[in-house]
Chains A and B, each alone.
Chain A
Amino acid sequence: MSKETSVKEPLIRLTKRDGMPVWAKILVYLVSILLALGVSALFIFFVTKLNPVDVYKTMWQGAFGGISDTVRKLHISVTVRDICTLLLLGVALAPAFKMRFWNCGAEGQMLMGGVATAFIMIKLGNSGLPNWLLLIIMCAGAILFGAVWGLIPAVFKAVWNTNETLFTLMMNYVAIQITSYCVALWENPFGSNTVGIINQSSRAGWFPELFGQRYGLNIIIAVIATVAMFIYLKKTKQGYEIAVVGESKNTAKYAGISVKKVIIRTMLISGAVCGVAGFVGVAGVDHTISTSTAGGRGFTAIIVAWLAKFNTFFMVAITLLIIFLNRGASEIASKFALNEYAANIITGIILFFILGSEFFITYKMHFRRKVKEA
């Protein structure tokens, strides 16, 4: 008996929480973001000797404000545009992640969608098709290419259990090289090593202005995708199957769900939505194709999808935060003559804090209490 009582209790013991009220979760996130902003402020102060409050104010200006009305409108529209693209990618990853399929290939799937879009834009730009029809064809092409790029690793995972994280990661670089290849093939003017603005005079295959908004169609597509994916995951049978496969493959098997079929189907959807993001990026934003059409967004989207816990509406909030940081940082870059990579530093610090804060949401800590000797 005496031996048992002398077992040392660890200083901190962890148990899983049953669930935390939403307000408490939000509070934890807010505290972590504030802490992160504090650390970033220290960093800004010690490295650049600028007043961090001024810097944050400028960031706000860059994302949502501006010296004049026109500048402000421009800033907001660019911010909204960037949110739409990143949100689409996050939404695309949601079903795959919910299935515990680590689709790290959004970058490549988006680029393939972009390549297909640009190809159709160039080839059919002068065919005299009405713009809406051209847009539909482009979108279909983008969906097809994105879906195929998602399908390949899915088949290998389903049939041979090939590690999907590494497979999709490598597919990104294959897609990047294919994009570079196409850029060299389609370059215009010759020798510039860029494709240039496609159909600049005819604007064939460009997104039309909607309700006086340059990026109206981008917003509509992003909203539809967000709502549709939410319903698909929460309210449909297929969405339920995805959740079961994600929780336990064996349970799914015993329940009569074909795991292979679910993996392949889900990745087709995931890749297809990434392809749509490529379509939006090329036809709705850049009107050209290059490797920076995706520009690392595919990787950022992984973080977005994970932090939002696959809930597409939380994604809106997280996307907003990340895009705000990016836009804000390019503003401070030009105003204070810093370089734009400051955005990556601040983003990294904030994400680390949010990731760390999830620990306090999932687990409860029990500190060792002084036990009175009986």
Chain B
Amino acid sequence: MDSVISLIQAAVVFGTVIMFGCIGEIVSEKAGNLNLGVPGIMYIGAIASLASVFAYESHAAEPNKAVCVIIALAACFGASALAGLIYSFLTITLRANQNVTGLTLTILGSGIANFFGGSLNKMAGGVGQISVAATSSAFRTTIPGLSSLGYFGKIFFSYGFMVYVAIIIAILVNYFLKKTRTGLNLRAVGENPATADAAGVNVTRYKYFATVIGAGISGLGGVYYVMDYIKGTWANDGTIEKLGWLAVALVIFATWKSVNAIWGAYLFGVLYWAYFYIPNLTRASQELFKMIPYVVTIIVLSVVSLRKKKENQAPAHLGLPYFREER
């Protein structure tokens, strides 16, 4: 029983990182922008929050936890949105290729994050690793009382607040895309920008806003990763990049619906950590187990294209540029 609970806990924490990345990417893809820069954006969000909180914690005599959290989130959202803005400017205004721009953003993001992360580790000196204890503990504070409710409390209430924020954002985004006029326009831009344009929707503005805000949400995955998942430290080990690509995979798995991303993310978490809890696995077969989330995504992708159900497809204009002059 204990191992099942610890698997669930690991899966939820893991899933939250990729859920943020995935929801942001859904918003962006719904407007037709296939942003392959998600890993880079998560990197940038992570390092921006870590660096700014590090600066605050090392200057303030007694860091205020609420201020820490606000600084971390604001820095992360701002930096990630800025990365999204670069991507938007290149792909929307300058009409550069989306795949190539996204991949370049990933290269740049991993460069910036690991460069500064490595330097911060050096600056922290001594132990050789940076640590922002106050902020990290603020991110990991659980709801007092509820987390001690036995197994129930452990499964549902033993996490930091970002886990619940992710779920709320997923539901809000779903409501926004499905039930609001703006959301409908946004989906129209992703499905058929020419028609949307003819109907008076400002395609460029929608694409910009969707991609920039989407990038901001994706970046929150980065902040959750550094503050909670690895407890306010930094390591140049490329994990964020791996998780970023899983977030892109999760978008497909969730068939572009953010509520599906909630359970999908936790399922990916269970699949990812399952090898740890299955006894008698050799190290080699553990590696095969880690393949499962990707294989499952491929299967979902194929089945979705096989069944040709309209509501499960990728936005029709995904990855394609829109030039009004070329109609």
Contacts A161-B305, A346-B111 known; list 14 others, CB within 8 Å: A162-B302, A163-B252, A184-B283, A184-B286, A299-B103, A306-B97, A341-B112, A341-B118, A341-B236, A342-B115, A344-B112, A348-B108, A352-B104, A355-B97
Residues on B with beta carbons closer than 8 Å to the beta carbon of A15? 325
> A352 contacts which chain B residues (CB < 8 A)?
86, 90, 101, 104, 108
Interface assignment of A185: CB less than 8 Å from any CB of chain B = yes
Contacts of B34 in A (CB 8 A): 165
Q: Name which of A19-27, A67-75, A133-141, A172-180 contacts chain B.
A: A172-180
Cβ of B222 to closest chain A Cβ, rounded Å: 16
Q: Does A240 contact B (CB under 8 A)?
A: no
Complex: how many Å from CA A307 to CA B99? 12
Whether the Cβ atoms of B249 and A170 lie closer than 8 Å is: yes
Q: Tell whether A347 pairs with B107 under 8 Å between CB atoms, given A165-B319, A341-B114.
A: yes
Closest 8 CB pairs of A and B: A344-B111, A348-B108, A177-B291, A184-B284, A345-B111, A162-B305, A341-B114, A180-B287
B325 touches A302 (CB 8 A): no
Minimum CB–CB distance for B264 against chain A, Å: 14
A111 shortest CB reach to chain B, Å: 13
Q: What are 11 A-B contacts defined by CB distance under 8 Å?
A: A16-B325, A160-B302, A163-B305, A166-B252, A174-B298, A184-B287, A185-B284, A193-B283, A302-B103, A341-B113, A341-B118
| Nearest CB on A from B108, distance (A) | 3
**Which of A211-219, A282-290, A356-364 lines the interface with chain B?**
A356-364
- B121 CB to nearest chain A CB (Å): 9
On chain A, the residues within 8 Å of B106 by CB distance are: 299
A85 CB to closest chain B CB, in angstroms? 17
Given contacts A162-B302, A359-B95, whether A343 and B108 have CB atoms under 8 Å apart is no
Q: Which residues of B sit under 8 angstroms from A356, Cβ to Cβ?
A: 90, 94, 96
Interface of A is mostly: helix
In the assembled complex, the Cα of A185 lies from the Cα of B208 at a distance in Å of: 48
Interface centre among A193, A342, A346 (most CB of B within 10 A): A342
Q: Cβ of B42 < 8 Å from any Cβ of A?
A: no
- Report Cα–Cα, A295/B245, bound state, in Å: 15
What secondary structure prevails in chain B residues at the interface with A?
helix
Nearest neighbor of A180 in chain B, beta-carbon distance? B287
The 8 Å CB contact of A170, one of B108, B297, B305, is B297
Instruction: Please give, as numbers and ranges, the residues of chain B lying within 8 Å of A347 by CB-CB distance.
Output: 107-108, 111
Most chain A CB within 10 A, of B107, B291, B319, is at B107
Of B107, B282, B301, the residue contacting A300 (CB under 8 A) is B107
For B305, list chain A residues within 8 Å (CB).
156, 160-163
- Chain A's nearest CB lies how many Å from the CB of B321? 11
| Distance in angstroms between the alpha carbons of A166 and B248 in the assembled complex | 8
Query: Shortest distance in angstroms between A13's beta carbon and chain B's nearest beta carbon?
Result: 9
Contact A14 B294 (CB under 8 A): no
A169–B248 touching, CB < 8 Å: yes
Confirm or deny: B65 has a beta carbon within 8 angstroms of a beta carbon on chain A: no
Q: Report if A163-B301 is in contact (Cβ < 8 Å); known contacts: A14-B325, A348-B108, A356-B94.
A: yes
Q: Given A173-B245, A345-B112, check contact A359 B284 (CB 8 Å).
A: no
Flag if A355 contacts B291 (CB, 8 Å): no
Decide yes or no: A359 and B94 within 8 Å by CB, A160-B302, A349-B108 being known contacts: yes
Mark B79-114 against chain A: 1 for CB-CB distance below 8 A, else 0: 000000010001000111101110111111111111
The reply to whether B107 and A166 form a contact with Cβ atoms under 8 Å apart is no
Q: Kindly state the separation between the CA atoms of A53 and B295 in the bound complex, as whole angstroms.
A: 48
- Complex CA distance for A174 and B290, rounded to whole angstroms: 9
Which residues of chain A come closer than 8 Å to B290, judged between CB atoms? 177, 180
Q: Which residues of B contact A180 (CB under 8 A)?
A: 287, 290
**Alpha-carbon distance between A147 and B95 when the two chains are bound, in angstroms:** 32
Contacts A170-B249, A345-B115, A358-B96 hold; do A162 and B236 have CB atoms under 8 A apart? Answer: no
Taken together as a complex, chains A and B put the C-alpha atoms of A356 and B96 apart, in Å, by 7
The yes or no answer to A320 lying at the interface (CB within 8 A) is no
Chain A residues within an 8 Å CB radius of B295: 174
Question: Which residues from B are CB-within-8-Å of A170?
Answer: 249, 294, 297-298, 301
Query: Any chain B CB within 8 A of the CB of A102?
Result: yes
Q: For B115, list chain A residues within 8 Å (CB).
A: 338-339, 341-342, 344-345
| A14, A160, A299, A341 — most chain B CB neighbours (10 Å) | A341
Interface: B314 (CB within 8 A): yes
Give the residue of B119, B294, B306, B318 whose beta carbon is less than 8 angstroms from that of A339: B119
Residues of chain A contacted by B95 (CB below 8 angstroms): 359, 362-363
